[in-house]
Chains A and B, each alone.
Chain A
Amino acid sequence: MSSNNGLKIFTTPFNSGNPITVLVLGICSALAVTVKLQPAFVMAISVTVVTGFSNLIISFLRNTIPNSIRIIVQLLVIATLVILVNEVLKAYVYDVSKQLSVYVGLIITNCILMGRLEAFALGNRPIPSFVDGIANGMGYGIILIIVAFFRELLGSGTLFGIRIIPESWYVANGGFYLDNGLIILPPMALIMLGCIIWIHRSVNQDLQEK
């Protein structure tokens, strides 16, 4: 693997191969866990860990897995990793783990994982596969964090739980400001994703369909 190629594997998921804005995978969790920055951040790290290591493991096993049962082997690997991640979250960040509730478990069904395993890990050597997995997890995570940034700032007036918009601005305290209730709801997260895709495609015009 030339270093140029390795760099390309790493950078593609941030731009022309972004899992959310270009491949449109993993939308469900992107809408569900982005109300606040903290759970979004934890979710991004969890998914990055799972994509990275599942890619690595499957790539090691790629020549020994019989083709007819490869999906089930992939699921087994992913499920094991997700359970591990879930246990770690419960042990160290219990509050966030409770907020994320089922969505950690649902990483198993996140299309990005199976997509990368099928498209990359089954046909490439372990190290590039690991890089691809980590990069895709981070490409997913960065969109999550952008969406969560705006949703928490406009919907709750805080960032990572720290108050950004002063209390004295609020109507209840004699000010003029109100939190936007719509941005807390999933439809607005979908609209925001749409706007990110819009901006992404105006910047990177190769992505526009003719």
Chain B
Amino acid sequence: MRLREIIEKIKPAFSKGGKLGMFSSTFEAFESFIFVPNTVAKNKGSHIHDSIDLKRTMSIVIMALMPALIFGMWNTGYQHFLSVGEEVSFIDTFFYGFVKVLPLIIVSYVTGLAIEFASAQIRGHEVNEGYLVTGMIIPLIMPVDVPLWILALSVIFAVVIGKEIFGGTGMNIWNPALLSRAFVFFAYPSKISGDKIWIAGLENAQNAADGFSGATPLSYAAANEIDKLPDTLDMFIGIIPGSIGETSTIAILLGASILIFTGIASWKIMVSTVAGALFTGLLVNMLGGSPYLEMPAWQHLIMGGFAFGAVFMATDPVTSAQTETGKWLYGFLIGVVVIIIRLFNPGFPEGMMMAILLMNTFAPLIDHCVVQSNIKKRMKRKLIL
């Protein structure tokens, strides 16, 4: 109870009118981070209470991201030592990746939380917890060698332009993590596309092994070199070059099971995204025309960022569709658009980012249509009676 006592002791200084009253929302953020707030909803109307709140929700998503993060660290090291042709122990491999990935996470959190705290103080709001997850996802969807200042800029762009100007957590139209990736993609394309940047140290390496290529499965596929694709099992486990957290389908599935079991992310969106991708993929398979178009549709699910996007980003409760029918439609359309961008747009080998951002934009429209059609259906029923 000592911590509780310390908090109670310094609390008056931070409350309204106290010496440090201007930092009240910062204090509140740390207090409720440690202890569940003891305020109760006013005795007005009926409330259904649940022990889960925004902070616990975010913590569970962070836990669900852990398998992908830990695998990503190991894979970063593994791909690096593969590129220089060295054999090292498991611990060294993991440690190399850990050292490479940790700065990205720190920069992402420090920049993002600084903006969150500052804007909460300026507006006199409570600090929003939304950034806890965004700050973890951003490093996971970046190439490991992305310069830290570019990462910081993209975080500033995503949090200020993507979230704060709409009113903070819960008000944003687009997924902030994807917005930060889109920023890097358009502002500094040489740092997030091509064959050289997915593996740590490959870009300016003199010691790369002979004939080693850092191309991701998707860039092989986009170049129609289907025979060069890695082994299916490798792609499923994730021993392939790519953004830090996106490569391992199996680690992502582990995270997905946590999210679905706790009921935090919508399984409907995950299932319908996969269904949409498979549907479009099979349709294209039937048409055929080039090796990439004839590649089995299910292989799309284990390449690139599809699994990560479908599990962690399409299901973002703020930016996805809210109605149950809407969720099916929203997820399905994401799947459809991903495959269309991957197969038919020569400029973008990966379509997951664009597809989710596009459907984020349309999610309110989908909800509107679902609600209106429901109203119409009920009106009709009323007339018959």
Contact = CB atoms under 8 A, between A and B. Distances in A.
Interface of A: 171, 176, 178, 180-183, 185, 191, 194, 198
Nearest to B148: A176
Contacts of B165: 194, 198
A203 B190 CA distance: 38
B344 interface: no
Given A191-B161, A198-B165, A178 B188 contact: yes
Nearest to B186: A182
A14 B186 CA distance: 33
- The secondary-structure label for the interface of chain B is helix
Contact of B187 (A171, A176, A183, A198): A183
Nearest to B160: A195
Contacts of A191: 161
A161 to B, nearest CB: 22
Given A182-B183, A182-B187, A183-B187, 13 more contacts: A171-B190, A176-B149, A178-B150, A178-B188, A178-B190, A178-B191, A180-B187, A181-B186, A181-B187, A181-B188, A191-B161, A194-B165, A198-B165
A50 B149 CA distance: 44
Given A176-B147, A178-B150, A198-B165, A185 B188 contact: no
21 contacts: A171-B190, A176-B147, A176-B149, A178-B150, A178-B188, A178-B190, A178-B191, A180-B187, A180-B188, A181-B186, A181-B187, A181-B188, A181-B189, A182-B183, A182-B186, A182-B187, A183-B187, A185-B186, A191-B161, A194-B165, A198-B165
Contacts of B190: 171, 178
A176 B146 CA distance: 11
Q: Which 4 A-B pairs have the closest CB atoms?
A: A182-B187, A182-B186, A180-B187, A181-B187
Contacts of A183: 187
B346 to A, nearest CB: 18
